[in-house]
A and B are shown apart, each in its own frame.
Chain A
Amino acid sequence: MKILVELSVNGERFEIATNPHATLLEVLRNQLGLTGAKEACGTGECGSCTVLADGRPILACLALAADYQDCEITTIEGLQAGSTLTPVQESFLEKGAVQCGFCTPGMVLSATALLKKNPAPTLDQIRKALEGNLCRCTGYNKILEAVRAAGEKMSQEASGSSGQ
């Protein structure tokens, strides 16, 4: 028997008839067509399915869709306003933190959540925040650089705009 689930994703409300046993990842990917969140393991170990729930990174593969009705879900598709890249996305590109790209949406979201909380994290704080996101391609160093650079960029932008 299907149930009706109301989700708020990237600022839009959706009413979706789905299975009680549907994960948030299944609903996002298969029903809403938001395939940016990936399933590399399905059991919580890799972080490639990371989305933000009220700004906090969670694993969509281990979340029941019905359980996430009262919060605001942000997926990689909802990060940008318009077509300009966010500072995190930009830094990932510029620092070479992307190779095959399969881990990238999760990485970018985890990093975004971290920087929102803490715009000038230490390397250890970045590591702690990204410990649940596996990447097989990059060896992580460029990801660390990218997160640091994005933090700096964001602080500059923030101080720039407050100075105006």
Chain B
Amino acid sequence: MQLPRFDLKRPSSFHEAVRLLVEYGNAAKISAGGTDLLPRMKYRIAAPATVISLKRIPVSEPFQDSEGNLHVHALVRLSDAASSNLVRTNAPALADAALAVGSEQIRNMGTLGGNVCLEPRCHYYNQSHAYQFMDPCFKRGGNLCYLVPKGNRCWALACSDTVPALIGLRAAAVVQSGDREYTIPVEELFTGDPVRPLCLGETDLITDIVVPAARPRTAVVFRKLSPRGGIDFATVNCAVMLKLSEDREACEDAIIAIGAVSGKPMRAGQAEKNLLGRKIAPDVIHEAAGRTASEIRPSMRCDCSISYLRKCIESLTQAALETAYQRASSGDGVKPD
């Protein structure tokens, strides 16, 4: 399978990359690891005239600042993120999520930034359209949806594995925008519209991910459900954060983030709120999982039903909460398995 023709730019810094983005506008696309962009280009659903490859930009190792915040370079490869000792000890959920992506080869190529910016997916969209589904759907700039023919929007799924983990960690993205730099919580990066999934400007690039310092009695846990346990995108993934009170009994803070079931990762706000102040016990966890499953609204998809997805969300959330409680209540809650 050939890539379409394009011109290749290989900047050696984010500054230069942003300048090129400004110069070429939306005729250019960024390739970090290329593992998401290149298959789409092979399918001709992306055909930029210019590809700006970030491969030459030096990648710094993850480091901790004086306040204990963990800085991870956007171009760090997922396998390096997963095996970094700093990441493993300070943000095990991120390491676990990175390790859950694709395969060894994909993780050796794919970057954290690319994973965060992963294009939403759909069976009808992620294939070539030479003789199947030729008319462009919403996501390809057209005016129809194959999945929900009566609908007027796109239902593609945001499948990134690291994003729910980063949300659970309350991580933020450092964005280079022209000469300016700003920071935005990862959770706020997403519009919810799979056609234009990111809030980033056209010439913005993520340069770093910052994970706030680990807190005591707190655990963040990532879980993924997929048919084969390898290669696959998640059917559902989930990250939960649980912070316990001083006596390690009641919930002081909670995040439940569910990915891969809609146009952006979802928070189970009601379930979270309901946990606050409650003494954690099996029935409370069970209740929270159940609430999560009923409040998250999975999108339609063509390989399984919504009620099945709900069941998956429930059991995955339950498992993640159990582990999080275990970890938060014993030790400092941030050590890897």
Contact = CB atoms under 8 A, between A and B. Distances in A.
A128 B39 contact: no
Contacts of A45: 231
B36 to A, nearest CB: 9
Interface in A31-50: 39, 41-45, 47, 50
B88 to A, nearest CB: 15
Nearest to A25: B1
Interface in A19-78: 19-23, 26, 39, 41-45, 47, 50, 53, 56-59, 61-64, 66-67
B6 A62 contact: no
A26 B43 CA distance: 17
- Which interface class (under 10, 10 to 19, 20 to 34, 35 or more) fits B? 20 to 34
Given A56-B79, A131-B231, A132-B230, A47 B105 contact: yes
Interface in B1-57: 1-8, 10, 31, 34-35, 38-39, 42-43, 51, 53, 55
Considering residues A47, A50, A58, which has the most beta carbons from chain B within 10 angstroms of its beta carbon? A58
A16 to B, nearest CB: 14
A58 B42 contact: no
Contact of A42 (B35, B42, B53): B42
Interface in A85-113: 110
Considering residues B34, B38, B103, which has the most beta carbons from chain A within 10 angstroms of its beta carbon? B103
Contacts of A62: 34-35, 38-39, 109
A127 interface: yes
Contacts of B79: 56
B104 A23 contact: no
Contacts of A26: 2
A26 B42 CA distance: 13
A22 B106 CA distance: 19
Contact of B102 (A44, A56, A134): A44
Given A42-B1, A67-B34, A57 B105 contact: yes
Nearest to B5: A21
Nearest to A133: B103
Contacts of B104: 57, 110, 128-132
A61 B43 CA distance: 13
Given A20-B6, A23-B3, A58 B231 contact: no
B108 interface: yes
A41 B35 CA distance: 14
A19 to B, nearest CB: 7
Contacts of B5: 19, 21
Contact of B34 (A19, A57, A63, A127): A63
A127 B34 CA distance: 25
Contacts of B51: 20-21, 64
B105 A58 contact: yes
A30 to B, nearest CB: 11
Contacts of A50: 105
Contacts of B1: 39, 41-43, 61
Contacts of B102: 44, 132
B8 A63 contact: no
A128 B43 CA distance: 28
Contact of A64 (B7, B34, B103): B34
A64 to B, nearest CB: 6
Contacts of B231: 45, 131-132, 134
Contacts of A22: 3
A132 B39 contact: no
Contact of A131 (B34, B103, B108): B103
A137 interface: no
A3 interface: yes
A47 B103 contact: yes
B33 to A, nearest CB: 8
Contacts of B2: 21, 26
Contact of A21 (B6, B10, B35, B229): B6
A144 to B, nearest CB: 14
A72 to B, nearest CB: 14
Nearest to A26: B2
B8 A3 contact: yes
Nearest to A61: B1
Given A47-B103, A57-B105, A62-B39, 17 more contacts: A3-B8, A20-B51, A21-B2, A21-B3, A21-B5, A43-B1, A44-B35, A44-B106, A50-B105, A57-B108, A63-B34, A63-B109, A64-B31, A110-B105, A130-B104, A133-B103, A134-B231
Interface of B: 1-8, 10, 31, 34-35, 38-39, 42-43, 51, 53, 55, 79, 102-106, 108-109, 229-231
